[in-house]
Amino acid sequence: MKTGNTQYRFVLVTRKTRLQELVERFNTWPQARFYLEHNHADVQDYLSEHDVYQQRLQEAERVLRPLGRFQQLERRLLPNYQFSASDIVVVIGQDGLVANTLKYLQGQPVIAINPDPQRWDGKLLPFVVNDLRDVVTCTMAGKADSKSITFAEARTNDGQVMRAVNDLFIGPSSHTSARYTLNWQGKREMQSSSGIIVSTGFGSTGWFQSVLAGAMGVTQAQHHALGGGFGWDEKRLQFSVREPFPSRTTGVELVFGAITQQSPLRLESQMPENGVIFSDGIEADYLGFNSGAVVSIGVAETQGQLVC
């Protein structure tokens, strides 16, 4: 067999299918099937999705193994996996898996494959598995085009760091009020709210748009300058305070603005418990944000690279 280029390691990032998650939940496929049938779900849809996905993984492996070192990695292992500078990362899954993978990298190229274009729109999935060999060859030769993606970064006073591809949430872990002091552009304000969302350009057409939509609905505005989001590679972030509450001790003036390298956002927690910071909607992976915690939010030095 022809030996591949050992300079590169190909990391194939995967996710569990709905069928696999159900089998884990109910221990066996017959029990999972009974659950689906009992709830009048389309069992064949689950089976078809699983079979197509497994087939795409096998096809990708056949392409990648002869070209260099190979590692398959399931999504839940991403936070603890040690990527190297020479890795080329191939993601097969939905858009969320691409975003989740990017934030654990240090600028390694990501090739995103849509496993089933008839099922998934795949805004972030420009390729199908039949494109993989050509795209990988171009990437190894340094000839592939890529889009740069700016990350948000939260850095706490005890040295913990969390990055976000789409957005950060800072606030309460449940439906209660967050209390904190906000510092931005030389101004300081005590606030009580349901939390703060910090969006990147990459995520500015997601959660951030729902915040804008709510604000425009309240004010009867017809449009907003950021209604279409902003550039993935722009070296800025946008913060929005959710449901700020005015009182004798809490203000509502610093509730919306841009975060740049020159004007970071700084927050000091006033919550004795249940304060959290999480990124990209993954609530289980969070930093504590309770009394005594101070977090600085800014543009990360590292950028993601999505091959296009």
pLDDT at site 184 = 98
Distance (Å) of CA 155 to CA 80, 214, 266, 276, 292: 19, 29, 10, 13, 14
| 212 three-class SS | helix
The number of beta carbons lying within 10 Å of the beta carbon of residue 282 is 15
Helices (H), the chain: 18-26, 29-38, 43-64, 95-102, 132-140, 207-219
pLDDT at 6 over 70: no
pLDDT at 151 over 70: yes
Confidence of residue 123 (pLDDT cuts 50, 70, 90): confident
Q: What is the DSSP string of 125-154?
A: --B-GGGHHHHHHHHHTT---EEEEEEEEE
Confidence of residue 4 (pLDDT cuts 50, 70, 90): low
pLDDT at site 282 = 85
pLDDT at site 122 = 83
**What is the chain's mean pLDDT, rounded?**
94
Confidence of residue 1 (pLDDT cuts 50, 70, 90): very low
pLDDT at site 219 = 87
Greater confidence (221 vs 14) lies with 14
- Rounded Cα–Cα distance for residues 36 and 188 (Å): 53
pLDDT at site 5 = 62
Average confidence (pLDDT) over 81-92 = 96
Domain segments of the chain: what residues?
Answer: 9-144, 151-300
Give residue 224's region: left, alpha or beta (phi > 0; psi -120 to 50): beta
How open is the CA angle 285-165-292, to the nearest 5 degrees?
A: 50
- Per-residue exposure over 153-181, b if at least 16 CB sit within 10 Å of its own CB, e if not: bbbbeeeeebbbbbbbbbbbbeeeebbbe
pLDDT at site 101 = 94
- Rounded Cα–Cα distance for residues 304 and 308 (Å): 12
Average confidence (pLDDT) over 209-238 = 91
pLDDT at 69 over 50: yes
Same topology, domains 9-144 and 151-300? Answer is no
- Rounded Cα–Cα distance for residues 198 and 40 (Å): 40
Distance (Å) of CA 79 to CA 132, 151, 160: 25, 16, 14
As its CATH architecture, domain 9-144 has 3-Layer(aba) Sandwich (3.40)
Cβ atoms of residues 90 and 111 within 8 Å: yes
Greater confidence (103 vs 296) lies with 296
- High-pLDDT (> 70) share of the chain, %: 98
pLDDT at site 2 = 45
pLDDT 10s digits, 234-275: 999 999 999 999 999 999 999 999 999 999 999 999 999 999
Determine whether domain 151-300 maps to CATH 3.40.50.1110. no
How open is the CA angle 149-279-165, to the nearest 5 degrees?
A: 5
| 2 three-class SS | coil
In sequence order, the 6+-apart residues with CB closer than 8 A to the CB of 44 are none
Confidence of residue 200 (pLDDT cuts 50, 70, 90): very high
- Rounded Cα–Cα distance for residues 200 and 215 (Å): 19
pLDDT at site 235 = 96
- Rounded Cα–Cα distance for residues 191 and 268 (Å): 10
Q: What are phi and psi of 179, to 5 degrees?
A: -125, 130
Confidence of residue 7 (pLDDT cuts 50, 70, 90): confident
Q: Give the bridge partners for 269, in sequence order.
A: 180
- Rounded Cα–Cα distance for residues 110 and 91 (Å): 7
pLDDT at 60 over 50: yes
